[in-house]
Structure 1
Amino acid sequence: MTEQTAHQGAGMALQAFVLALAMAAVVGTALGFEHIGGYIPCALCLEQRTPYYVGIPVMLAAAISAMLKAPPLITRTLLVAGGGLMLYGAGLGVYHAGVEWSWWEGPADCAGAAGLTTDAGNLLADLNAIKPPACNEAALRVLGLSFAGWNVIASVTLAAGCLRVAFAGRAR
């Protein structure tokens, strides 16, 4: 292994780790809005988190693979998988944003149950007081974009990062 190849492996490990941190920051922000800000997610909101929950360990595996100098094909495959997960997440975000803008229908059963108590004494009161959000109503818009819209931007950016790292140096 040449010194340049070793340096590329260390760089790839660092970049995969940064991508894992970025994914954690995105989903952590969503969790913060939920648990600190009180925004109850709808079913599509919850579904959009799945690519992050899967993508974070995939990026950590890519970082470990690069650090342990595993065959580059393994590390690159993990990075491509992370990019694919983020593209899937972007697709979910586009679908959800389209539902919010009434461009197309959402799922008929799209209402979340998050935020309900597990205290049996308060359950009936909570059921009457908490209205689960519908997928076609944006809980908040920032600069004209809902959480789903911002997720599209984050997912596409992360997908581009994963794929850029996966294919960096391949043209040589």
Structure 2
Amino acid sequence: MKRLQVLKITKKVEYALIALKHMSVKDGQTLTSARELCEAYSMPFDTMAKVLQAMNQAGWLTSLKGIKGGYTLSSDLSQISFMQLTRAIEGQEAANVCMGNKGMCELHGTCNIVTPVTQLHKHVTSFLENLNIDQLLTSGPTLPLPAWQYEGKTDGI
């Protein structure tokens, strides 16, 4: 049975969430490097570096440059909404292709569901604007994370 995909989260947003979760479990002041994250979670370095830079520019991380540099959280995750995170990483969310945009849909001008889809988009956007990252990352059971070394531990975070 094929799984229905209602909301698509980009890889970059997933990487941002992984990085924020990883950093939030640390004491808050321990530096986390892009390389550390990439090795722990098998992610591409260039993409992770760009994601961390975007979160730093948004003011959610503090960076320390240099060979022993890295990032620490500088914001309370309960003050960052999922929508803010998505916009910081990806830019403004793309409008649904059937939101009445000329040239975006072959049914433009004849479609009979523009209003319901517009309402759905508003509800989903409102939900994502009110869902903070702390709620998202702490809800439900924590799944096992990949093995990595943190202060000599190899049993995960």
TM-score, normalised to structure 1's length?
Answer: 0.32
TM-score with structure 2 length normalisation? 0.34
Higher relative contact order (CA 8 A, sep 6+): 1
